[in-house]
Amino acid sequence: MASSTDVDALAGTRREVSAPDEATGEALTLRRRYAAHVSDVWDACTDPDRLACFFQRPEGDLRVGGRFAFPGSGHGEVLRCAPPWLLVVSWVYGEPGGERVELRLAPDEDGGTLLELRHSAPDGLLERVPDDPESGARGIGTEWELSLIALAACLDGDAEADSTGVTSVFATAGLAGRVSRAWSATLAAAGVDATGADDAGR
């Protein structure tokens, strides 16, 4: 049974997918609000030590034009950086495919922060959004959302990274499965088949 904390965590995310389009490609977008000030959220998302709390510690050059890597995960190049509002990086996981991740921050009326994360690619992105039951791999929608849920705990001082850079949020029983089902529902609502086919356009 989901705890009230888990339910709040799921309800706090706004999920959106852009169906395959020849001109704009495919994208998934997550939006969450944090009680922390924009400068604090930006620092948490760009300081290697703080990134380790909710994602992983990056290696490499984090300046514009520099290349970075998250060991065992993605790597890429810093394309744009406008503190504390915008960060754009190329993203490679496996074979290069023209993927980009954009992080946008904006203040809200209560002094908190509205965070938007957009992951886009020319094609083949949406088929990787849901989890893969055969391999047991988490989909990219689940992975990004768990990280943003963990970010809230880190900003509140309620979580610390273990030796692998993973917070206790990731070990919460059943949370990953509920996040994955929420992304599957988002795909279905948008008329996008989990295999990447756009049913709405047929």
**Residue 42 sits in a domain of what CATH number?**
3.30.530.20
Name the more confident of 156 and 160.
Answer: 156
Predicted pLDDT at 194: 62
User: Quick one: average pLDDT of 96-100?
Assistant: 87
pLDDT (average), residues 18-46:
90
Does 201 map to a domain? no
Three-state secondary structure of the chain: CCCHHHHHHHHCCEEEEECCCCCCCEEEEEEEEECCCHHHHHHHHHCHHHHHHHCCCCEECCCCCCEEECCCCCEEEEEEEECCCEEEEEEECCCCCCEEEEEEEEECCCCCEEEEEEEEECCCCHHHCCCECCCCECCHHHHHHHHHHHHHHHHCCCCCCCCCCCCHHHHCCCHHHHHHHHHHHHHHHCCECCCCCEHHHC
Q: Say what percent of the chain tops pLDDT 90.
A: 57
pLDDT band at 77 (very low <50, low <70, confident <90, very high): very high
Q: What's the pLDDT at 111?
A: 92
Q: Is 60 part of a structural domain of the chain?
A: yes
pLDDT band at 156 (very low <50, low <70, confident <90, very high): confident
Q: Which domain holds residue 53?
A: 4-196
Residue 131 within a domain: yes
Q: How many domains does the chain have?
A: 1
At residue 193, the pLDDT reads: 74
pLDDT value at residue 4: 42
48-64 pLDDT, tens digit per residue, is 999 998 998 999 999 99
Q: Output 78 or 93, whichever has higher pLDDT.
A: 78
Residue 122 domain flag: yes
Sorting pLDDT into bands at 50, 70 and 90, what band is 171?
low
Residue 202 lies in a domain: no
